[in-house]
């Protein structure tokens, strides 16, 4: 596959937005993995990041705010052959979709979740998001955020998420590799990508992330859960990027008896069984 197979479209993003390199990395990762546009489904919610699949030549479902994961879950269970990728922002995923995020981690369904994490709501002009740092001042929080930020990677590790990674939009090769590895992982994979919002976040800028992000050493063992917890909580002057944690626990579909006879796609409904089910509610 070539990057050009995924199309080139005019966007509604601000010049300098971190969404641009993330979009390029997604294309590169899919091309590198040999995934054809018809073999993949992208699902997103609402927000500037959620527009990313609009600019890809792929199957695409743009749903309600925070509800991308349930749609992706249904699609994947019905058609396991489909590569399903959820792509949205930190507000959509960790705020409105927070409970779905937790459920996906526990289930370990074979999905890839790419989160554009700019620590702010960009589409609605700059309110604090779940990942905004304490004390962060916005128009909606003029006295500063007065609560602890949500730590998505630590939450994913504590729930034994299958694949937990972080990258930064200013590290294109690293970002592409994290997405490629996440797509290849059998089970739930989270790739949280730090990115600047040039219009509404004047604190966590490109330079702010560039100064702090560092790659995990080759000796780092992502299967060591206790070490991963400590690494996932590292935030501030230094921010680790890479695969923080991974495991090989069975994915959700492998534990559902209804799927042991094959995928739901292509099966013909049995009117007799349907009638029996309906008769219970008559």
For the chain (282 residues), the mean pLDDT of every run of 10, in chain order, is 94 96 97 96 96 96 96 95 96 97 97 97 94 95 95 98 98 98 97 97 96 97 98 97 97 89 84 91 88
How many CA atoms, within 13 angstroms, populate the side-chain half-sphere of residue 127?
10
CB atoms within 10 A of CB 23: 24
What pLDDT sits at residue 190? 98
Q: What is the pTM of this model?
A: 0.94
Contact criterion met (CB below 8 Å) for 256 and 73: no
Helix, strand, coil abundance in the chain, percent, nearest 5: 40, 15, 45
Comparing CA positions, the residue from 9, 89, 15 lying closest to residue 49 is: 89
Q: Is 185 helix (H, G, I), strand (E, B) or coil?
A: coil
Rounded to whole angstroms, the Cα distance separating 104 from 71 reads 12
What pLDDT sits at residue 17? 96
22-to-4, 50, 250 alpha-carbon distances in Å: 16, 12, 29
What pLDDT sits at residue 267? 85
């Amino acid at each position: 596959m070539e990057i050009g197979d995924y199309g080139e479209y005019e966007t509604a993003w601000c010049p300098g937005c971190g969404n641009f390199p993330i979009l390029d990395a997604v294309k590169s990762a899919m091309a590198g993995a040999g995934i054809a546009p018809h073999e993949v489904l992208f699902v997103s919610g609402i927000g500037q990041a959620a527009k990313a699949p609009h600019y890809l030549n792929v199957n695409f479902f743009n749903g309600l705010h925070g509800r991308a994961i349930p749609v992706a879950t249904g699609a994947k269970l019905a058609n396991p052959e489909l590569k399903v990728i959820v792509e949205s922002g930190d507000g959509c995923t960790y705020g409105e979709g927070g409970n779905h995020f937790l459920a996906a981690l526990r289930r370990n369904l074979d999905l890839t979740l790419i989160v554009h994490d700019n620590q702010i709501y960009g589409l609605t002009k700059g309110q604090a998001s779940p990942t905004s740092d304490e004390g962060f001042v916005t128009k909606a929080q003029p006295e500063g955020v007065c609560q602890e930020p949500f730590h998505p990677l630590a939450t994913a590790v504590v729930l034994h998420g299958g694949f937990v990674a972080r990258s930064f939009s200013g590290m294109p090769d690293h970002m592409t590799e994290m997405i490629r590895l996440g797509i290849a992982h059998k089970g739930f994979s989270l790739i949280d990508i730090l990115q600047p919002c040039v219009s509404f976040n004047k604190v966590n800028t490109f330079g702010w992330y560039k100064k702090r992000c560092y790659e995990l050493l080759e000796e780092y063992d992502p299967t060591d859960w206790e070490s991963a917890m400590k690494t996932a909580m590292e935030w501030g002057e230094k921010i680790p990027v890479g695969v923080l944690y991974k495991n090989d626990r069975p994915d959700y579909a492998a534990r559902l008896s209804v799927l042991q006879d094959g995928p739901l796609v292509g099966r013909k409904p049995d009117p007799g069984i349907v009638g029996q089910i309906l008769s219970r509610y008559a």
